[in-house]
Amino acid sequence: MPQAPIRYRVAMPEPQSHDLHVTLEIPALPERRALDLVFPVWAPGSYLVRDFSRHVYDLEAVAGSRHLPLERLDKARWRLQTGGRAATVRYRVFAFEASVRTSFLDDSHAFWNGTSLFFLVDGEADRPCRLDVEPPSGWRISTALPSRRGQPSSFRAENYDELVDSPVEIGVHELHAFRAGGTRFEVALQGPSNVDRKRMLATLRAIVQTTRAMFGGFPFQRYLFIIHALPTRGGGLEHANSCTLDIAGNSFEDEKSYQSFAELAAHEFFHAWNVKRIHDRALGPFDYGKENYTRLLWFHEGFTEYMQGLVLLRAGLITTERYLKDLAENWTRYRARPGRSVTSLSDLSYEAWIKQYKPAENHVNRMVSYYDKGRWAGLVLDLLLRSATAGRRGLPDLFARLWHAHAATGNAIDAAAIRRAAESLAGRSLSSYFRRFIEGTAELPVPELLPGAGVKVEAKAPGDVSDAVKAKRLLPWSGLVYATNGDGEKAVVKNVVPVSPAWRAGITFGDEIIAVDGTRVTGATVGKRLADHAPGQSAEVAFFRKDRLRTATVRLARNPERKWSFAVDPDARARVIALRRRWLGTKD
C-alpha cells in the first residue's frame, strides 16, 4: 500500500511582507507519538552552515482544532507531540535574500531553494511529498518537480531530498524551451536583461548537447534552467534536474559577457552528473542538520571547473586560441597565490566548511580555493591520461566510466574508486599523481606537461615590456597587498606574502601605510613610491598599527611573479598534434 505523503502548502498573500506562509500536513503515524521537526542548516552544493531557521516565525501545530505542544530542542530542531495522530504545522519564513541558496519574495516574484523553506520530519525523509503552491493572480510556476495530473500548481516528490533539491520560481518570468536528445529543456528568465534571447538559448543548447556526448545521454527527461537577471552577478547552484543561475542582467555588452554566462551554465549543468549523481557517501543522502564533510570537493568542484572550459571549447562557443589564452591568464593568477602549495587538495575539501567560506587574514598565505587548485589538478590528470594513451583517453572518459560504473547503478564513489578508474584508463599506476597532488602539496606541473600536448609555453618576468621606464619600475617587489588602491583612500595592508621584504620588515595585516621615505602616500600612490627603488635598495615605510605610529625598513627584492602565455605550437610533431586534437576535441 502506498505511503500517505507529507504535504507542504506555500502561499504568499502579502508579497510586500516578504513572508512565505507554509503549511506542513503530516499524516497519522500511530507508531510514533512524538516527531522531531528539523529545519536544515545548509544548502547542498554550498558548503557553509547558514542556519536557515533564523528566518522562521509564528510556528504552531494543531491536530484538528487542538493545539499541540512544540518543544524547541536546539537552533534547528523542535519536538512535536502528536500522540500518533495527523498534525498540521504552520509557520512563516522571512524571504528577502536574493541568492541561489535562499528564499526571496517581493511584489515582482518569488523564489525558494527548498532547504531554506521546508521542515524535515525526522525519520520520514523517504516518505513521498506533495507540494501545493498558491501564487498571486497572474503568476506562473516553474520547477523541475513533476506536476500532479491536471493540477498545474500541485507537484509531487518521491521524497524530501527531491523536494528540497527542486527550486521553484514563481512570477511573470519569461519561459523558453528547446529539445535536445529527446529531453525537454526549459528556461525561466526572471528580471530585466539585455541578453540576446536567441543567443542565450543557442548557448544552452550547445552546452547540453556537448555534455550529453561526453556521457552518452541525459539522466533525465526534463531539465530546468532558472536564471535570475540581477543588478550584479551572483553565483550558481546545481540540482539533479535543474540549476539556478544568478547573472548580471544588463551586462551583455561584449563577447566576454556571453562567455562568462556560458561558463556558469556549463559548470552548473555538468554538476547534474558530477556531484548530483557521481558523488561520495557524504553528499547524499544528506544530513541537513550539520556539516557533511567530504574530501572530494577537488573532484566535484575543481574538476567541474576544468571541464566547463572543455565543454565550451568543444561546443564551439570559444576558440582554441581563446581557451589557451584564458588558461594562461588563470594560471598566472594561480601562481601568484602564496598559499597554493601549502594545503593539500584533500584537506582543502574537508576544511571548506570552516576555512574556505570563513577565511582568516592569513587564508591567502595558507590555502587556495579547491575550485581553483582542483581545476589544475584536473588538467594535469587529463594530460597524464592523454600521454599514456596517445591522446585516446582523458578526463571526459574518466567521468563517463564513473557514471556508468557507479552513479548509474546508485553506488557512491570514493577517492579509491576515482583512482582505480583513472588507472584503468591509463593502463598504468597513477599513485604518484594522487600522492603528490591530491594528498600532498607538490606544485602542479602544468607548464611541464603542456608542451607534450602541443602547447607552446612562455613565462615573462614583470619587467619584460617594451617601455624601458615601465620595465624598470616593475622589477622591485615588497610582498605587500593592499585592501584599497583608490585615489585618496588609505593604504591599508590586506596581506603580506610570507618571507617577502615587507614580511621580514615586520609589517602585517591591517597596518595603514602613510609615508614612504617621508613622502605621504595613499592607496593609489604607495606602490608608485615603492617602485621608485630598484631591487636591493631600501625604503623607509611609516605606518599606523592601530593608533601607534611605527616605521620599518623594507629592502626591496626582485619581483618573482611571472606572466604566462599558452598557444598552439606550430612546430609540434604530428603525433603531438594528434594528441592535442584528441585532448581539446578540435581540429587545431
Are residues 524 and 443 part of one domain? no
Largest Cα–Cα separation, the chain: 85
Per-residue pLDDT, 199: 98
> Does 249 share its domain with 303?
no
- Residue 200, pLDDT score: 98
The answer to whether residue 315 is domain-embedded is yes
> Strand locations in 335-403, DSSP E?
none
Single out the residue of 237, 239, 370 nearest to residue 296, CA to CA: 370
What is the CATH number for 218? 3.30.2010.30
Domain-embedded: residue 530? yes
Which CATH number goes with the domain that contains 515?
2.30.42.10
Q: CB-hemisphere CA count at 13 Å for 77?
A: 11
Tell me the pTM: 0.96
Angstrom distance (rounded) from CA 39 to CA 285 = 16
CATH number at residue 363: 1.10.390.10
Sequence-distant (≥ 6) Cβ neighbours of residue 151 within 8 angstroms: none
- Residue at 27: amino acid letter: P
Query: For position 457, what pLDDT does the model report?
Result: 98
* pLDDT recorded at residue 486: 62
Residue 79 and residue 47 share a domain: yes
Cα 73 from Cα 413, distance rounded (Å): 35
User: Range of 502's domain?
Assistant: 468-558
Q: Please list the alpha-helical segments (H only) found in 427-571.
A: 431-433, 446-449, 468-473, 501-505, 526-530
Give domain status of residue 341, yes or no. yes
CA-closest candidate to residue 263, choices 188, 185, 207: 207
Say whether both 445 and 539 belong to one domain: no
Q: Is the peptide bond before 128 cis (omega within 30 degrees of 0)?
A: no
C-alpha grid cell, residue 341: 602549495
Average pLDDT per consecutive 10 residues, the chain (588 residues; last block may be shorter): 92 97 97 96 96 98 94 97 96 97 97 98 97 97 94 96 98 98 97 98 98 96 98 95 98 97 98 96 92 97 98 98 98 97 97 94 96 98 98 98 84 94 98 98 98 97 87 95 78 96 97 97 95 97 97 97 96 96 94
Span 418-465, pLDDT tens digits: 999 999 999 999 999 999 999 999 999 999 999 999 999 999 998 778
> Are both 377 and 497 inside the same structural domain?
no
At 460 the pLDDT is 94
Cα–Cα dist 29/275, whole Å: 34
- Give me the pLDDT at residue 463, please: 77
Are 405 and 441 in the same domain?
yes
Domain count for the chain = 4
Note whether 229 and 302 are same-domain residues.
Answer: no
User: Rounded to the nearest 5 degrees, what angle is found at the Cα of 425, between the Cα atoms of 376 and 586?
Assistant: 60
Site of grid cell 579509491: 416
- Matching residue, cell 536546539: 74
Question: Count of alpha carbons within 13 Å of 552, Cβ hemisphere only?
Answer: 19
pLDDT on residue 9: 98
As a whole number of angstroms, the distance between CA 176 and CA 184 comes to: 11
| Interior/surface letters 251-275, b for 16+ CB within 10 angstroms, e for the rest | bbeeeebbbbbbbbbbbbbbbbbbb
Cβ–Cβ < 8 Å for 116, 93? yes
